[in-house]
Chains A and B, each alone.
Chain A
């Protein structure tokens, strides 16, 4: 997919983010204007700056969107249509891309370590499982080498931080 198409989709997401931030800024103002705060002047309310930032994001993202839709000899509507069809075919083609799927798989392992293992297990156990899993997934080397590197790595980290730096690990 052409980078301009990716950028167009991203700029849409940015415009939506900008709208959300601006609306949320205004809602913060409304909250601040009521009890117990009673800050009724918009410019000194805590919602003012988020509102301005949201507007700035909308403006710059729209400008960026227009830059993405610029193509010589073609109207913006025509380019928009063309880019959407490019995006659809890119999604279709890349849903079977093994390289992307492989990377996503590795990121999921990192996510499981961060959100699940770290919550359930002590640091050393979570990290050891994570390292062994990721080494094997990445096919770093033979399984026993992966095991040794993971065990030695975690032991070294625990010794350095827990004992040398006196830091309490999770």
Chain B
């Protein structure tokens, strides 16, 4: 059956119109990835609204191509400009740009693009194998477990994205939950926070929130006066040397793919973390004499980061498909897009629409191969793309943000919502509050709300089942441990014991 689904997915993807869409979407994704300030999340959020009128399979193929393209495209500006096109490629700049300065920019781009493709392809294998496993595990979940899973998702996302100050991440997640409460409640249809406004009663749409949170601050940033950046020209690719280097570092590629997929599965933690962790692991495990060369143009660093961040794509899609919990911010947009196109990811996915998993895998694999071809061709024009006047580009991007928000419901109210959340995004960015947990809060809010209330209704308002179910206890222990550890309670206790 699986082979049949894979065959059908290939046939769908290889229809002439879909091939054209895949090429164009990958190209758009790559260009958006190349341009600093246009993130993968923004690219998918923008294009979700724009692909609304596409046939379902074409739209999903297009969005996955954009996802792969935008994550991979970020490496080119990181290498040539020393400014990552997307946060996912931040670590690529460490070794990629020194390579470009040494006249090996072409080799660095070739390495980054090739391992990006390999990383995505490896992650597809994980999607194929882990999704059915996680889905069957999720079938054992009841409303209580889903409630705790959503809390855990927001907490872990807040912890990792806010890094030194997890409390900022948690607050960001709570703010997202508040936004999710707006509208008629899902159980009794009683209006909450809607103040008699009909538009608010139907709830706040995810896409305008997302475009506002992620796109708006980037647009506003261009308004500040800044110096022009210097772009280093790319040299020849050195294909033979590139393949030789990748062959020599095959264990790095595999290890980084594992790290990328693992990070991707954790809710809300994105490709940037995967890139940094892969880089850190590779640097830590390198021989002493090689360690010093990291940060000075070591191709090993580029290989690790780009494999890790691209493998994270598949990793982030695994919880989307199996639990309806996004693994990263772009995956959160993807989840919204899947829902918009009539798919219901989650534990019942393999029962209701088993073909969907195989469609996603085939589209991801084809998109990564397309990306490899287009990215290498595009790299010749990257210097020109990076030279585009941002003062022209960003206002046009804002017009696209307006269209993206409008097309979800053909309602101007969503455009106004996008603007409001854009302003909020600017404030959150200025305060260094990560927007990813906020977004996760908006996405997981309805899941948290409906599951807790359903569970409480079934137990007549009693919380007792929360403490009697083994999976619940596991999640509870995990949540309490996470909060106490991050607040430094264990450190204080340890300090007291030593003092005693």
A binding-site residues for B, Cβ under 8 Å: 3, 6-7, 10, 14, 17, 21, 24, 28, 31-32, 37, 39, 41-44, 46-50, 53-54, 56-57, 60-61, 63-64, 67, 99, 102-103, 106-107, 110-111, 113-115, 118-119, 127, 130-131, 134-135, 138-141, 149, 153-154, 157, 161, 165-170
Q: Are A167 and B53 in contact (CB under 8 A)?
A: yes
CA distance in complex: A66, B462 (Å) = 34
A151 shortest CB reach to chain B, Å: 12
State which of A28, A56, A118 has its C-beta within 8 Å of the C-beta of B190.
A28
Q: Are A114 and B416 in contact (CB under 8 A)?
A: yes
Residues 394-433 of chain B, each 1 if its beta carbon lies under 8 Å from chain A, else 0: 0110111011001100101001101100010001001110
The residues of A that contact B399 with a CB separation of less than 8 Å are 127, 130-131, 153-154, 157
Segment of B31-39, B181-189, B254-262, B303-311 in the binding face: B181-189
Interchain CB contact under 8 A, B412 and A165: no
Within the complex, what minimum Cβ distance (angstroms) separates A115 from chain B? 6
Contact (A39, B188) CB under 8 Å given A49-B449, A103-B224:
yes
CA distance A167 to B404 in the complex (A): 11
Residues on the A chain within 8 Å of B165, using CB:
67
Q: Are B223 and A103 in contact (CB under 8 A)?
A: yes
Cα A123 to Cα B50 in complex, Å, equals 15
A169 CA to B406 CA, complexed, in Å: 8
With contact pairs A48-B453, A50-B193 given, residues A114 and B402 touching in the complex (Cβ less than 8 Å): yes
Q: Is the CB of B167 within 8 A of A43?
A: no
| Contact (A161, B190) CB under 8 Å given A130-B395, A149-B392 | no
B151 to chain A, nearest CB (A): 10
B302 CB, min distance to chain A CBs, angstroms: 33
How many residue-residue contacts, CB under 8 A, span A and B? 148
How many chain B residues touch A (Cβ–Cβ < 8 Å)? 59
Q: CA of A47 to CA of B185 in the docked complex: distance in angstroms?
A: 9
Cβ A32 vs Cβ B190 within 8 A: yes
B168, B181, B219: the one within 8 Å of A53 (CB): B181
List CB contacts (< 8 Å) of B364-400 with chain A. Answer: 389, 391-392, 395-396, 398-400
* Among all A-B residue pairs, the 7 with the closest Cβ atoms: A140-B391, A46-B185, A43-B461, A106-B223, A138-B391, A134-B395, A41-B461
How far apart sit A132 and B431, CA to CA, in the bound complex (Å)?
32
Chain B 329-373: CB-based contact to A (< 8 A → 1; otherwise 0): 000000000000000000000000000000000000000000000
Supposing A157-B400, A170-B406 touch, asked if A57 and B175 sit within 8 A by C-beta, the answer is yes
A63 surroundings in chain B (CB, below 8 A): 167, 487
The docked-state distance in angstroms from the alpha carbon of A133 to that of B224 is 17
Of the candidates A50, A131, A165, the one whose C-beta lies within 8 Å of that of B192 is A50
CB distance from B392 to the nearest CB of A (A): 5
CB contacts (< 8 Å) of A54 on chain B: these are: 178
Contacts of A24 in B (CB 8 A): 192-193
Within 8 Å CB of B406, what residues of A? 169-170
26 A-B pairs with CB atoms under 8 Å apart are A14-B171, A21-B178, A31-B190, A43-B463, A44-B457, A46-B190, A50-B192, A53-B177, A53-B178, A54-B178, A60-B171, A63-B167, A67-B165, A99-B225, A107-B223, A111-B419, A114-B415, A114-B418, A115-B416, A118-B402, A118-B415, A138-B391, A140-B391, A140-B392, A165-B53, A170-B410
Which of A7, A21, A37 has a CB less than 8 Å from the CB of B188?
A37
Q: Is the CB of B461 within 8 A of A135?
A: no
> Would you give the shortest CB distance from A9 to chain B, in whole angstroms?
10
CA distance A109 to B393 in the complex (A): 16
Chain A, interface SS category: helix
Q: Could you tell me the distance in whole angstroms from the C-beta of A69 to the nearest C-beta in chain B?
A: 14
Which residues of chain B come closer than 8 Å to A166, judged between CB atoms?
53
**Would you call A60 and B389 a contact (CB within 8 A)?**
no
Instruction: Enumerate chain B residues within 8 angstroms of A169, measured Cβ to Cβ.
Output: 403, 406
State A3–B168 Cα separation when bound (angstroms): 13
A131 and B395: CB pair below 8 A?
yes
Cα distance A58–B449 when bound, in Å? 19
Instruction: List, in ascending order, chain B residues with CB within 8 A of A106's CB.
Output: 220, 223
**Is the beta-carbon distance between B452 and A49 smaller than 8 angstroms?**
yes
Q: Report if B146 contacts A (CB, 8 A).
A: no
Say whether B174 faces chain A, with CB atoms less than 8 Å apart: yes
Chain A positions within 8 Å of B220 at CB level: 103, 106-107
Q: Which residue of B lies closest to A134 (CB)?
A: B395
Task: Tell me which of B178, B431, B452 contacts A10 (CB under 8 A).
Answer: B431
Q: Collect the chain A residues with CB atoms within 8 Å of residue B436's CB.
A: none
Q: A102-B223, A110-B398, A161-B50 are in contact. Are A7 and B431 (CB under 8 A)?
A: yes
